[in-house]
């Protein structure tokens, strides 16, 4: 690292990261979350001065921690020259105000850090609307912190309210109006996305949503399978917007793959609510492709986090194809590797980098896609144009040949319509898609 780079880094605000471990908590799990918080904070432009694990934590309504631990954290932050204390646990608005007024340090929690990252990464109109909505809902109960300097401005009499309170109420009203406007705009975006989804449903093309923990390789997989150009970067939340691309299967059928936003542990509920219109791609897909970074020691916990969010969305009843990515890296051993194998012994193991395991993955995708339709070779007599028109409306036509006796058609027919066309089945029907 050059001296110039070091000088630039030294100018970044320094932050002390704090993880809280109660007597009943697993210290290893808390330490792992603190490591993840370090990666999150590094994505915001802050410089991590130190990670501090506070043991024997007991909740306090004033500072979140007790008075003694509060003083210890403030002392350590000043020793390190840190301007900010970042908690891995949520801070209430009152606790945030108490921290900042008593210590003179900026105090934030994991949720605020994630909101900042999302705000920096949002590219499309929908993502920006979703992030702005989440940030306003987060900031509304914290407005008092910004106006405490006006509390001393009293009116002419004891019954009159001060200027600070009036300004606070005005700002709260403006934010509530903005929140209502953003929700209306998101409803319009949701309606437009619903129209696109209905067009895809009418095409009878099966759909799959790619989900997983952030930085597991979802966008890389979409690019490798379907030739997409989704952003790929070794950073958290590189992709916030869903990207849908078409994959042509070996049998001649097609599959629509959609990349979705990644998850992290302790993902703020306001973000889950704000991004529900995006995550509905998982809810409306025919099946889910769950990508897991199998080289990560926390892979099993990442799987539980992703499946938990899917349950919250109501998408846990969908068929799930689990894909262990990055199998070109050394596999996990010991307890971590055993837990991962027990959690999903039937997972498809691949490497997006080397394309190892892609044949098995595509076979699995084709098998799941076949659950929606059947490949049929049909001979429609010339006098049955009504049935031919109906076939074109409901099925995916892959080949057609006009002959003297009628029209030979190869089509992927949805299961609900198979019985309507079985009388036209020609010799040598291709059968199920496999």
- Evaluate if pTM is beyond 0.85: no
Cβ proximity of 100 and 106 under 8 Å: yes
Q: Give the pLDDT band (50/70/90) at residue 381.
A: very high
Res 46 pLDDT > 80: yes
Condensed to tens digits (0 to 9), the pLDDT of residues 175-211 reads 899 999 998 988 888 777 767 666 655 556 788 989 9
- The architecture in CATH of the region 205-369 reads 3-Layer(aba) Sandwich (3.40)
Cα separation, 92 vs 65, in Å, equals 12
Partner residues linked to 244 by β-bridges: 258
H-run or E-run covering 130 = helix 125-139
Give how far Cα 110 sits from Cα of 86, 232, 295, Å.
7, 24, 25
Q: Give the pLDDT band (50/70/90) at residue 354.
A: very high
Where helices occur in 81-207 by DSSP H, the ranges are: 93-103, 110-121, 125-139, 143-146, 163-202
Where helices occur in 215-357 by DSSP H, the ranges are: 218-226, 269-274, 276-284, 299-313, 334-343
Cβ proximity of 319 and 371 under 8 Å: yes
Q: How much is the pLDDT for 196?
A: 67
Res 48 pLDDT > 90: yes
Give how far Cα 73 sits from Cα of 17, 51, 340, 389, Å.
10, 11, 37, 73
CA 200 to chain centre: 22
Asked whether the domain spanning 205-369 has the same topology as the one spanning 3-117, the reply is yes
**Quick one: 3-117 is in which CATH superfamily?**
GTPase HflX, N-terminal domain (3.40.50.11060)
Give the N- to C-terminal CA distance of the chain in Å, as an integer: 54
The tokens describing 289, both together, are: 């492709």
Condensed to tens digits (0 to 9), the pLDDT of residues 157-173 reads 433 444 445 667 777 88
Break the chain into its structural domains and give their ranges.
3-117, 122-152+162-203, 205-369, 373-424
């Amino acid at each position: 690292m050059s001296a110039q780079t070091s000088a630039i880094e030294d100018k970044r605000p320094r932050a002390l990261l704090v993880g809280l471990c109660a007597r009943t908590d697993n210290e290893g799990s808390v330490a792992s979350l603190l490591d993840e918080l370090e990666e999150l904070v590094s994505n915001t432009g802050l410089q991590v001065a130190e990670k501090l694990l506070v043991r024997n934590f007991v909740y306090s309504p004033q500072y979140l921690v007790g008075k003694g631990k509060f003083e210890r954290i403030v002392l350590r932050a000043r020793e390190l020259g840190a301007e900010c204390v970042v908690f891995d646990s949520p801070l209430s608005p009152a606790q945030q105000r108490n921290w900042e007024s008593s210590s003179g340090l900026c105090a934030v929690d994991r949720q605020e850090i994630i909101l900042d990252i999302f705000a920096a990464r949002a590219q499309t109109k929908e993502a920006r609307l979703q992030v702005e909505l989440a940030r306003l809902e987060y900031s509304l109960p914290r407005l008092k912190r910004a106006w405490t300097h006006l509390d001393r401005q009293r009116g002419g009499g004891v019954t009159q309210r001060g200027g600070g309170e009036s300004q606070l109420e005005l700002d709260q009203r403006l934010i509530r109006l903005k929140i209502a406007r953003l929700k209306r705009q998101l409803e319009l975006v949701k309606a437009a996305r619903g129209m696109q989804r209905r067009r895809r449903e009418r095409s009878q093309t099966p759909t799959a949503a790619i989900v997983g923990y952030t930085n597991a390789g979802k966008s890389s997989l979409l690019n490798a399978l379907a030739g997409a150009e989704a952003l790929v970067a070794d950073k958290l939340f590189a992709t916030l917007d869903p990207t849908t691309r078409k994959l042509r299967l070996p049998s001649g059928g097609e599959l629509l793959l959609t990349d979705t936003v990644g998850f992290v542990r302790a993902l703020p509920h306001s973000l889950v609510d704000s991004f529900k219109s995006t995550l509905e791609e998982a809810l409306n897909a025919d099946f889910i492709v769950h990508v897991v970074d199998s080289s990560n020691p926390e892979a099993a916990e990442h799987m539980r986090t992703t499946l938990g969010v899917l349950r919250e969305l109501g998408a846990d009843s969908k068929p799930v194809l689990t894909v262990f990515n990055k199998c070109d890296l050394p596999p996990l051993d010991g307890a971590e590797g055993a837990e991962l194998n027990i959690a999903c012994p039937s997972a498809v193991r691949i490497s997006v980098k080397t394309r190892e395991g892609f044949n098995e993955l595509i076979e699995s995708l084709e098998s799941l896609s076949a659950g929606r339709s059947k490949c049929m070779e049909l001979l429609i007599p010339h006098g049955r144009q009504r049935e031919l028109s109906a076939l074109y409306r409901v099925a995916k036509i892959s080949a057609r040949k006009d002959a003297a006796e009628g029209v030979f058609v190869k089509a992927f027919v949805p299961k609900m319509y198979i019985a309507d066309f079985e009388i036209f089945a020609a010799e040598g029907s291709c059968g199920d898609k496999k």
